[in-house]
């Protein structure tokens, strides 16, 4: 019977204290939702990419060679331990017309080995020559449809094409597994790279069936069964790469010998024909002797030329060289970090709320607890009521949080944010039961622990003491009373409010913490939005003020430059060489295994080679993050790296970094300085440095252009320029800004999410504490009502204190929000984005206004409780 009575009392307590129970439930639900949801989102994204890679046979290893590959190379790779499948690929860079403008395209052959297969969205894959598959971006930009035709030509008009010329019929729309970034999303817009359309044809489209392979793609034995981001997968791939490296030198030399011998044979064939004619001349003829001497010189020159030809060099890459792969890795790590940080905040708030709620329940139940003790109930039996109350709130809140976090939150993120960034066809919904149960148990342990602490003090008292009301706190002189010129000018209610703030210091502190957290979250959220949305405008106003970037082939640049110089709409131009490089930390032979693992990071950056003696002012303003100008050195061989790339690779001024250009030339260089840059990664060097580092000639192929007129005029100029066939891409800064702001829906969603979380935080804390405040002061409030205070005066008597405490929390919360934003930005690792905190005044104003609005809403809700106070019942003596 004793146990039955206790259980009934415990369940009855939930109904009688429903508001407190609901507050605890909600705060636990939100904490569990964020813990499980954000970590689940990270796992779902990675699993989605892993499934996509598995279904398309995405390569585990790709190799390119400076002298291409032949069948012997492919056969040798098939014999390597750990290699499952190998195939050679033919690809070529070409140009095609897109909406009347010349655009860059990469055409690649399909293979029958099940590697690098395409995801078919519509139509079918090419089966015969002159059929082609394209991406949805190409169809959207060109206005073409399945069944229509296109033509392309080699990038360099002086070279013959890898693929047969003529019209190609579009038969399918595909997703290229090597590039899953949404072309209209924010990641594509901040990269700064020109649009290159991938296209795919059948083997029959080759103009030469014996053409060497441009690259070799490889799958690793057992790798498909592993998650592409797990350590087991990386170890399997690393082992296979090590085995491939064991045959690398031999195959590089074999390919070098083959190519060099073919070149020598071709040269000698022409010389041998002349040699035969000379041999047929009569002996002793002076002309014959001279001819033989010339032939000998020609043979020697041919051998010397062949010896000077480049040698084969393999560049072996794993999936980390694929930009999309690294993007997903960094972003999911960021989301998982936030999934650990945010729940901690809500766990602390849940602890404060539960302590307040249980402590007040114990105070209200003093007489009942004394009665139970007098009847012989043990401490543990009496405590059962409060443990059931808090445990039930945690379990129900945790269950709700798991449903929202494991299903609702991932669905919202995938539908509104991730699909805006990537074009993956689907994402699996993974449920990690360990995480789901672990989050709930964490909150149960913390909250029930708080309930135990709240009960412990009262349960130590004797029954007789518990059955008497607790003695009120003794009145004390507060500090403000000693400041006469302030205290004497306060009204009666003002003095009461001031004394109550100091009388209930712990509750005031909790209100301040709750409002502070709410204000800080909203300030950080609004600040994140303003920082992100001003990225591109700040990029173009502070760092890259040029109006248009126009890219040509090296062969067409002189002609294009002459036309620009004669164009009256052009204010000025800066010709330069534009390309791309891969940056990697310099490996040290004495580094530890952990350091070497950290050194595996790589990223691709845009390369700008500036003519010697030319200033970049007015086009690219090179400056450090603190605003100090950077001088481009023209003779010392150093480079300038922008901030995002430097942070990713842990580079500073004086650091060494390895550069690999598009022709696989590599060199270790020194970072002269790290420059501020908001969107994209950039490496800047002078012409003399470029020629020294890569031992190749400078070849300008682009212009940074400043144009007369406003934004519309600049956009119109860029559109007109793009219609000329010599331009591969033309980018307007003004158009980039407009497209960027349209695409940043994800930050608006993030802001909304943060504001909702902040509102829940504020309302739960404020309502719990306001209700507790009224409950504790019923006799006091009943007294002033008996004395004749009207409803509004009673409301003001209580609400003034809440508003004053909230104002303190808001004032402290705004600078804390700015600090929180700085921390969040340090955790955000968005590819190509260097988000610098930029909190505008309306971010602070909006956060303060909303926090104040939440306080007023809670005050309106608790006014009803003030109106329902039973004056007679509250003033009855408990004796």
Q: What is the pLDDT of residues 452-462, one digit of tens each?
A: 888 887 788 88
Strands 196-201 and 101-109, bridge-based pairing: parallel
CA–CA separation, 875 vs 834, rounded Å?
63
Show the tokens assigned to 572: 């000025």
SS3 annotation, 86-125? EEEECEEEEEEEECCEEEEEEEEECCCCCCCCCEEEEECC
**Spatial contact of 848 and 855, defined as CB atoms under 8 Å apart:** no
Phi, psi dihedral angles at 488 (to 5 degrees): -70, -20
pLDDT over 90 at 240, yes or no = yes
Mean pLDDT computed over 531-557: 85
pLDDT on residue 593:
42
Domain boundaries, the chain: 118-202, 258-310, 489-543+734-879, 570-707
pLDDT on residue 200:
93
- Confidence bin at 590 (pLDDT 50/70/90): very low
Least confident of 58-62, 494-498, 806-810: 494-498
Least confident of 152-161, 312-321, 405-414, 531-540: 152-161
Mean pLDDT computed over 692-707: 89
Residue whose tokens read 């702001």: 741
pLDDT on residue 60:
93
Q: Of 327-336, 386-395, 870-879, which has the strongest mean pLDDT?
A: 386-395
pLDDT over 90 at 704, yes or no = yes
Pick the closest to residue 121 from 59, 56, 168, 218 (CA basis).
56
Phi, psi dihedral angles at 8 (to 5 degrees): -60, -40
Q: Mind listing the pLDDT tens digit for each residue in 753-804? A: 777 877 887 788 888 878 877 777 777 788 888 878 888 878 877 888 888 8
Q: Mind listing the pLDDT tens digit for each residue in 820-854? A: 888 877 766 665 667 778 888 888 999 999 889 88
pLDDT on residue 594:
38
**Spatial contact of 386 and 801, defined as CB atoms under 8 Å apart:** no
Percent of the chain predicted with pLDDT > 70: 91
Phi, psi dihedral angles at 616 (to 5 degrees): -95, 0
pLDDT on residue 599:
47
Strands 639-642 and 682-686, bridge-based pairing: antiparallel
| Order of strands, sheet of 61-69, starting from the edge strand that comes earlier in the sequence | 83-89, 213-220, 61-69, 314-318
CA–CA separation, 457 vs 359, rounded Å?
10
Helix intervals (H) in 630-672 = 643-649
* pTM of the shown model: 0.73
SS3 annotation, 487-535? HCCCCHHHHHHHHHHHHCHHHHHHHHHHHHHHHHHHHHHHHHHHHHHCH
CA–CA separation, 332 vs 358, rounded Å?
38
pLDDT on residue 597:
39
* Collapsed DSSP state (helix, strand, coil) of residue 590: coil
- CA distances for 573 relative to 25, 547, 678, 706, 712, angstroms: 64, 10, 23, 6, 19
CA–CA separation, 801 vs 500, rounded Å?
8
Mean pLDDT of the chain: 82
**Spatial contact of 420 and 182, defined as CB atoms under 8 Å apart:** yes
Q: Mind listing the pLDDT tens digit for each residue in 162-199? A: 888 888 999 999 988 888 877 766 666 555 556 778 89
pLDDT on residue 595:
41
Compute the chain's Rg from CA coordinates.
Answer: 36
Mean pLDDT computed over 365-385: 83
- Confidence bin at 655 (pLDDT 50/70/90): confident
pLDDT on residue 245:
92
pLDDT on residue 158:
47
pLDDT on residue 592:
43
Mean pLDDT computed over 295-315: 83
Q: Mind listing the pLDDT tens digit for each residue in 395-436? A: 999 899 888 888 888 877 777 677 777 777 877 777 778 888
Show the tokens assigned to 815: 């600078």
Mean pLDDT computed over 28-32: 86
């Amino acid at each position: 019977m004793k146990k039955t009575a206790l259980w009934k009392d415990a369940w009855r307590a939930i109904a009688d204290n429903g508001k407190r129970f609901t507050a605890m439930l909600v705060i636990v639900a939100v904490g569990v939702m964020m813990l499980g949801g954000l970590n689940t989102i990270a796992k779902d994204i990675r699993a989605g990419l892993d499934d996509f890679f598995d279904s398309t046979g995405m390569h585990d290893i790709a190799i390119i060679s400076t002298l291409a590959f032949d069948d012997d190379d492919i056969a040798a790779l098939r014999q390597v331990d750990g290699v499952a499948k190998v195939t050679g690929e033919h690809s070529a860079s070409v140009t095609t017309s897109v909406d009347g403008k010349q655009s860059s395209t990469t055409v690649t052959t399909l293979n029958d080995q099940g590697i690098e297969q395409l995801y078919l969205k519509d139509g079918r894959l090419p089966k015969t020559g002159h059929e082609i598959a394209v991406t949805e971006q190409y169809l959207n930009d060109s206005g073409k449809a399945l069944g229509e035709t296109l033509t392309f030509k080699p990038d360099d008009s002086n070279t013959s094409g890898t693929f047969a010329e003529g019209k190609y019929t579009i038969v399918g729309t595909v997703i290229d597994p090597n590039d899953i970034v949404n072309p209209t999303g924010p990641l594509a817009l901040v990269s700064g790279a020109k649009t290159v359309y991938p296209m795919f044809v059948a083997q029959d489209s080759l103009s030469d069936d014996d053409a060497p392979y441009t690259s070799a793609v490889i799958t690793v034995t057992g790798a498909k069964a592993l998650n592409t981001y797990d350590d087991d997968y990386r170890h399997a791939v690393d082992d296979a790469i090590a085995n491939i490296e064991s045959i690398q030198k031999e195959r590089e030399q074999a390919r070098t010998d083959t190519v060099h011998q073919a070149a020598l044979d071709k040269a000698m064939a022409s010389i041998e024909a002349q040699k035969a004619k000379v041999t047929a001349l009569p002996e002793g003829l002076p002309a014959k002797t001279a001819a033989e001497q010339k032939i000998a010189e020609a043979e020697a020159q041919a051998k010397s030329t062949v010896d000077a030809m480049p040698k084969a060099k393999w560049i072996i890459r794993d999936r980390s060289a694929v930009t999309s792969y690294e993007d997903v890795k960094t972003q999911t790590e960021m989301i998982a970090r936030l999934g650990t940080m945010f729940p901690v905040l809500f766990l602390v708030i849940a602890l404060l709320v539960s302590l307040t709620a249980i402590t007040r329940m114990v105070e209200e139940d003093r007489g009942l607890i004394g009665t139970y003790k007098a009847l012989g109930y043990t401490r543990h039996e009496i405590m059962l009521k409060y443990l059931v109350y808090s445990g039930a709130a945690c379990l129900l809140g945790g269950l709700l949080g798991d449903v929202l976090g494991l299903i609702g939150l991932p669905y919202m993120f995938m539908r509104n944010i991730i699909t805006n960034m990537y074009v993956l066809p689907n994402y699996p919904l993974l449920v990690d039961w360990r995480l789901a149960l672990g989050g709930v148990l964490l909150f149960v342990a913390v909250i029930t622990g708080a309930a135990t602490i709240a009960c412990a003090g009262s349960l130590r008292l004797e029954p007789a003491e518990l059955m008497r009301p607790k003695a009120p706190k003794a009145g004390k002189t507060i500090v403000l009373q000693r400041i006469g010129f302030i205290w004497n000018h306060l009204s009666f209610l003002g003095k009461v409010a001031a004394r109550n703030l100091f009388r209930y210091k712990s509750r005031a502190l909790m209100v301040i913490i709750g409002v502070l957290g709410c204000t800080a979250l909203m300030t950080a959220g609004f600040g994140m939005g303003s920082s992100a949305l001003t990225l591109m405008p700040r990029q173009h106003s502070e760092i890259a003020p040029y109006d248009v970037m126009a890219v040509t082939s090296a062969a067409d640049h002189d002609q294009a430059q002459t036309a620009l110089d004669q164009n009256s709409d052009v204010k000025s131009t800066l010709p330069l060489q534009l390309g791309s490089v891969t940056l990697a930390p310099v490996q040290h032979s004495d580094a530890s295994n952990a350091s070497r693992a950290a050194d595996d990071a790589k990223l691709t950056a845009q390369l700008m080679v500036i003519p010697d003696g030319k200033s970049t002012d007015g086009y690219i303003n090179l400056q450090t993050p603190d605003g100090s100008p950077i001088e481009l050195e023209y003779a010392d061989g150093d480079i300038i790296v922008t901030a995002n790339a430097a942070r990713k690779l842990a580079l500073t001024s004086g650091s060494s970094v390895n550069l690999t250009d598009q022709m696989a030339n590599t060199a270790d260089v020194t970072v002269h300085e790290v420059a501020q840059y908001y969107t994209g990664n950039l490496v800047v060097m002078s012409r003399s440095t470029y020629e020294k580092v890569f031992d190749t000639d400078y070849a300008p192929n682009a212009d940074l252009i400043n144009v007369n007129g406003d934004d519309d005029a600049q956009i119109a100029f860029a559109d007109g320029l793009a219609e000329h066939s010599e331009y591969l891409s033309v980018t307007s800064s003004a158009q980039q800004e407009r497209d960027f702001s349209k695409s940043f829906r994800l930050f608006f969603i993030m802001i909304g999410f943060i504001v909702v979380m902040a509102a829940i935080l504020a309302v739960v804390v404020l309502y719990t504490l306001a209700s507790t405040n009224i409950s504790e002061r019923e006799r006091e409030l009943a007294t002033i009502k008996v004395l004749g205070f009207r409803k509004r005066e009673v409301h003001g008597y209580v609400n003034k204190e809440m508003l004053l405490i909230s104002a303190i929390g808001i004032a402290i919360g705004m600078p804390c929000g700015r600090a929180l934003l700085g921390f969040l930005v340090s955790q955000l690792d968005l590819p190509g984005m260097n988000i610098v905190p930029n909190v505008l005044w309306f971010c602070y104003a909006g956060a303060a206004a909303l926090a104040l609005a939440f306080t007023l809403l809670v005050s309106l809700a608790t006014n009803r409780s003030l109106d329902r106070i039973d004056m007679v019942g509250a003033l009855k003596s408990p004796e």
